[in-house]
Amino acid sequence: MNRAADIDDDAVVRSQSPQMTPSAPTPYRRTLLYLAQRLGEIPNTRLHKVVYLIDLEYHRRYGRTLTGAPWVRHNYGPMTKALLPALDEMAGHELVQRVKTTRSDRTLKLVAPGPAPRYQPDLGPAEREVVDFILSVTERLTDPQVLDLAYSTTPMRAVLRREATLGRKLIDAPLEFDADPVLPGPDEVDPPGHAAFKRAEAQALGGARARLLASFVE
Amino acid sequence: MPPAASPAPVRDERWLVVVSSKRDCRDVACPTVVVLILSAKVEHAGRHDELIRAGDGGVQRDSIAQTDLVLFWPKDELLDDRCKGDLMLDTLIRVRARLANTLGIAEPKATGS
């Protein structure tokens, strides 16, 4: 993507958040700050996915996202272009960024709480409940597991199904938080061994079913 | 000579996911809830199975919610420390939509309440 396109994308993000002046504590930035304060140092990519899961959960509960950021499908799953400008604006104040080289010579961008915050997260009770809920879901997961979790959500799966139909990746496709769940198509068949697996499952549950039915007859 | 295959271990606990409406879950006049059986054998996932990733709902491993293995369960047995966690709402909607699909209901949007 060229620089002009970057500027256009930033303009779109700003136009959707009228309060977004350079140091304004928008919901997006307050959420980032809260996460950094709760988690300490966190890889940039993991932060992205956690914020996405928060936005999706908040949207499912209240009909709108918490941060107001537009989400798109990118190479490594959900991504919002609001993150990089926000990190830049918060750098040295609310957040700090550093780059670490892993043992396998990969570059890892990390985000941590900054030394001189100009504001506090001040999340409302409902916002905090959702953020804490997603943190409880993801806290014991590895980074790849958090990525898997993001990929298994309805908006991502809707895009992945379209990609399977078209035969190509839909990079930058908007993620629709109102998308219908992806359900099996009419031609979809069960994998080999599926019937035997289901028979064994039904047999294993037979005892529990009989006990339940007996307890209601008594 | 290879060892003989041992019988599958008998398990007295299974993970369940409650799919009843919030109203029925809270209503004291409603003694049971509808539950689905989970399995960690995700390689067997078929048309009636919805993926639940590790972490979601307190599930320790990637699992499938089997919408063709539906049971009722007494609420009395599902209280206290047996609750392992809540599913993300998006996941619950996916599971309910898959259940609706299994039942032949073609309106997945009506499954989120």
Range with the lowest mean pLDDT among A71-80, A100-109, A129-138, B15-24? A100-109
Question: Coil, strand, or helix at residue A8?
Answer: helix
Encode pLDDT of A108-167 as tens digits. Answer: 999 999 999 999 999 999 999 999 999 999 999 999 999 999 999 999 999 999 999 999
Within a domain: A209 = no
Within a domain: B11 = no
Domain that holds residue B44: 16-104
Within a domain: B112 = no
pLDDT of residue B48: 96
CA distance B97 to chain A (A): 7
Question: Coil, strand, or helix at residue B96?
Answer: helix
Q: A208 to chain B: which residues are within 8 Å by CB? A: 14, 71
CB of A198 within 8 Å of any CB in chain B? yes
State how far the Cα of B47 lies from the Cα of A65, in Å rounded to an integer: 31
ipTM of the complex: 0.84
Within a domain: B2 = no
Provide φ and ψ at A49, rounded to 5°: -70, -35
pLDDT of residue A208: 75
Within a domain: A215 = no
Domain that holds residue A60: 3-166
Q: B113 to chain A: which residues are within 8 Å by CB? A: none
**What's the total number of domains in chain A?**
1
CA distance A90 to chain B (A): 30
Task: Determine contact, residues A65/A58, Cβ cutoff 8 Å.
Answer: yes
**What's the total number of domains in chain B?**
1
Q: A194 to chain B: which residues are within 8 Å by CB? A: 44, 46
Work out the average pLDDT over B68-87: 86
Q: What is the CATH number of the domain that holds B43?
A: 2.30.30.110
CB of B74 within 8 Å of any CB in chain A? yes
pLDDT of residue A87: 92
